A and B are shown apart, each in its own frame.
Chain A
């Protein structure tokens, strides 16, 4: 298992953002669903070693992120796309991705090719020399994905990766996700259930800081059977049914 969390909690001020999450995630694409404020981003930030857990145990890629040396090892093998992607407007696409490749301590000799490959993979080859300040929101999101995958990560954490992408880009991105999931653990946090249905082999649903469902997308769909859950698609109805059950 590349991610093993046991009784993981995280308090942000007076708010209990994550309230005792226990989960194990292996290779493949894993979807993390939940309404706004469910604690998905906080859980992802802990997995990205941005913030430490308040309590509980977390192991990533077989290492303990609370120990500096191991945390560095994790970070070399980690890709992360935060919900709100910040960027340096004067950097070009290539420079931005190269910057992160270097900060992820990729061997300098490999950086050039890896950057070009990552930029091509997200479909920004023709915009490689463009300044980030000139790009649209969807393109910036793809730059964010490029920086996350540039080091060929074994653990890829994507927080709302399809936000701002048009339908064509979203379809291409799902294909990329499936491709990436063949060699790595990809955790996608989203509230767009169609993304999960199309790309994820397993899914967890969070509500109020807890995991209220963990299984396959089909199992989530099956939770709607026999309920009056609302939703336009079967997966959405399963999502609604689980949330309703958790809150009842």
Chain B
């Protein structure tokens, strides 16, 4: 009576086709499309067209969209035998219950993965048209794809265990809140909760365009998350095959094996996620799976703009170059050619350091100016994590913070400016306090009142003394 392998396979395919045709996940697709549009697509497209920024933002958002819907649909599917009173009729069929459940789970997962691929495809296609450098990041997409079968298995198992019409909405809500709340437990380095598929990088860093730009995307955490999700899937599917009545002795032993392997994988991945640390490039490095070749800088050809001092940026930031040039032009014209002034402004990678608690410090790796001829290592305001800047906000930040950093590097050899250096910097930038009794402000106003040629002439003659801190406020013109 035993069927041939061919017959078993063709029977399984027919069963899967039937399950695909009548799967509740089909009814969830419009909802998924709407949620994807609102929660993921619009938010991602509002960000700069950086592959890393959009891919990591997408991972967090798309997991939030897919997890509750897939878990809910799978729970509805898993509970249907009990809800429709088909248990007796199905029990006396020859197919093991586990095989039947796997077919239902596979159909639900299949539709969800198809929808997921379409969603990622749409977002990546739009990003591909806008991005000036790089290519699609597949690891964040892979983590999302791996979370679909895992949460479908979770929903299906819950539905099969508690077949009720309330199971599906409860599972959907529990999956959503469970996932969202899990992220709240992440505190700095070494957090086991980093294994959550919502986490696409250092959780407390927020959005940053700088990640995976100067250095390759670090796949350590996604690898761990995928192992965890695959383990979770195996364990949950295996558990459904363990109870008596799920199948024969060998099938149930196989299910126990799958469950054990799944639990071990998920446990190992969670333990490894706990060893994940913020690396200098703003990503999570997990020593056990870390590949040293991922630490080598990415190769690229800078894009340069013409100003009194050439400004070169990473091609991923090429779209910002006109705005950067416009904002820095007045300052660069004043300092170009001064002794010690940079020959070129070259964008640098930011360096990330975990601080005590949840804080992350972002800054420059070394001195602002190095080399001969001197090169100023430029950190743009958009390289710092935080909310996306508007064009006006970016221009303001460039004219104040970035320009001040450039001027400071020219007029002072220390990080901290003396009063005269402060007044000169303020005068060059045109940013000084309005209070009449502020001596630094008064000196800055005097210096600013000079013509550009006058300021430049004075700087040519006195820059060495100013840099050495030998000029007082009264000595300023």
Contact with B along A83-115 (1 / 0, CB 8 A): 011111111000100111011111111010000
Contact with A along B426-453 (1 / 0, CB 8 A): 0000000000000000000000000000
Given A69-B248, A82-B88, A105-B11, A98 contacting B18 (CB threshold 8 A): yes
Q: Is the CB of A49 within 8 A of B89?
A: no
- Contacting B at CB under 8 A, from A57-76, are 68-69, 72-73, 75-76
Residue of A72, A75, A84 touching B85 (CB-CB under 8 A): A84
A93 CB to nearest B CB, Å: 13
Q: Interface segment, B90-98, B105-113, B383-391?
A: B90-98
Most-contacted residue by chain B among A80, A98, A99, A103 (CB, 10 A) = A103
Contact with B along A200-220 (1 / 0, CB 8 A): 000000000000000000000
Q: Is the CB of B248 within 8 A of A102?
A: no
Q: Is the CB of B22 within 8 A of A95?
A: yes
Closest to B252 in A: A68
Most-contacted residue by chain B among A73, A87, A107 (CB, 10 A) = A107
A102 to B14 Cα, complex, angstroms: 8
CB neighbours (8 Å) of B81 from chain A are 86
A48 to B18 Cα, complex, angstroms: 25
Contact with A along B225-262 (1 / 0, CB 8 A): 00000000000000000000001110000000000000
A78 interfacial contact with B, CB 8 Å: yes
B3 interfacial contact with A, CB 8 Å: yes
CB neighbours (8 Å) of B10 from chain A are 108-109
Closest to A44 in B: B88
CB neighbours (8 Å) of A76 from chain B are 1, 94
A142 interfacial contact with B, CB 8 Å: no
Q: Is the CB of A102 within 8 A of B18?
A: yes
A102 to B94 Cα, complex, angstroms: 9
A237 interfacial contact with B, CB 8 Å: no
A109 to B22 Cα, complex, angstroms: 22
A19 to B435 Cα, complex, angstroms: 103
B100 interfacial contact with A, CB 8 Å: yes
Residue of A80, A85, A95, A109 touching B92 (CB-CB under 8 A): A80
CB neighbours (8 Å) of A89 from chain B are 84
| Prevailing SS type, chain B contact patch | helix
B86 interfacial contact with A, CB 8 Å: yes
Contact with A along B23-39 (1 / 0, CB 8 A): 00000000000000000
Given A72-B248, A86-B84, A88-B86, A103 contacting B100 (CB threshold 8 A): yes
- Contacting A at CB under 8 A, from B69-107, are 80-81, 84-95, 100
Given A82-B88, A86-B85, A88-B86, A102 contacting B1 (CB threshold 8 A): no
Q: Is the CB of B88 within 8 A of A108?
A: no
A72 to B99 Cα, complex, angstroms: 14
Q: Is the CB of B93 within 8 A of A85?
A: no
Most-contacted residue by chain A among B10, B80, B94, B248 (CB, 10 A) = B94
A50 interfacial contact with B, CB 8 Å: yes
Q: Is the CB of B94 within 8 A of A104?
A: yes
Q: Is the CB of A107 within 8 A of B94?
A: no
CB neighbours (8 Å) of A82 from chain B are 88-89
Q: Is the CB of A99 within 8 A of B18?
A: yes
CB neighbours (8 Å) of A95 from chain B are 18, 21-22
Closest to A106 in B: B11
- Contacting A at CB under 8 A, from B1-25, are 1, 3, 7, 10-11, 13-15, 18, 21-22
A50 to B7 Cα, complex, angstroms: 26
Q: Is the CB of A88 within 8 A of B22?
A: yes
Most-contacted residue by chain B among A73, A87, A91, A99 (CB, 10 A) = A99
Closest to B248 in A: A68
Given A68-B248, A102-B14, A107 contacting B7 (CB threshold 8 A): yes
A214 to B249 Cα, complex, angstroms: 38
Residue of A49, A91, A102 touching B11 (CB-CB under 8 A): A102
Q: Is the CB of A107 within 8 A of B3?
A: yes
A73 to B94 Cα, complex, angstroms: 7
B249 CB to nearest A CB, Å: 6
CB neighbours (8 Å) of A141 from chain B are none
B164 CB to nearest A CB, Å: 15
B225 CB to nearest A CB, Å: 35
CB neighbours (8 Å) of A91 from chain B are 22
CB neighbours (8 Å) of B7 from chain A are 107-108
Q: Is the CB of B89 within 8 A of A99?
A: no
A45 interfacial contact with B, CB 8 Å: yes
Q: Is the CB of A102 within 8 A of B89?
A: no
Most-contacted residue by chain A among B11, B81, B90, B249 (CB, 10 A) = B11
CB neighbours (8 Å) of B95 from chain A are 102-105
A72 to B85 Cα, complex, angstroms: 22
CB neighbours (8 Å) of B100 from chain A are 103
CB neighbours (8 Å) of B22 from chain A are 88, 90-91, 95
Q: Is the CB of A105 within 8 A of B3?
A: yes
Q: Is the CB of B93 within 8 A of A48?
A: no
Q: Is the CB of A86 within 8 A of B93?
A: no
A143 to B91 Cα, complex, angstroms: 18
Q: Is the CB of A88 within 8 A of B14?
A: no
Q: Is the CB of A68 within 8 A of B94?
A: no
CB neighbours (8 Å) of B90 from chain A are 103
B401 CB to nearest A CB, Å: 61
21 contacts between A and B (CB under 8 A): A45-B88, A48-B92, A50-B92, A72-B1, A80-B89, A82-B89, A84-B85, A86-B81, A86-B86, A86-B89, A90-B22, A95-B21, A98-B18, A99-B15, A100-B89, A100-B93, A102-B18, A106-B11, A107-B11, A109-B10, A111-B11
**Chain A interface (Cβ within 8 Å of chain B)?**
45, 48-50, 68-69, 72-73, 75-76, 78, 80, 82, 84-91, 95, 98-100, 102-109, 111, 147
**Chain B interface (Cβ within 8 Å of chain A)?**
1, 3, 7, 10-11, 13-15, 18, 21-22, 80-81, 84-95, 100, 247-249
| Top 5 A-B residue pairs of the complex, sorted by shortest distance between their CB atoms | A86-B85, A86-B86, A103-B93, A108-B10, A75-B94
**Given pairs A82-B88, A102-B18, A108-B11, 13 additional interface contacts (CB within 8 A):** A72-B248, A75-B93, A80-B89, A84-B85, A86-B86, A95-B21, A102-B15, A103-B15, A104-B95, A105-B3, A105-B94, A108-B13, A108-B14
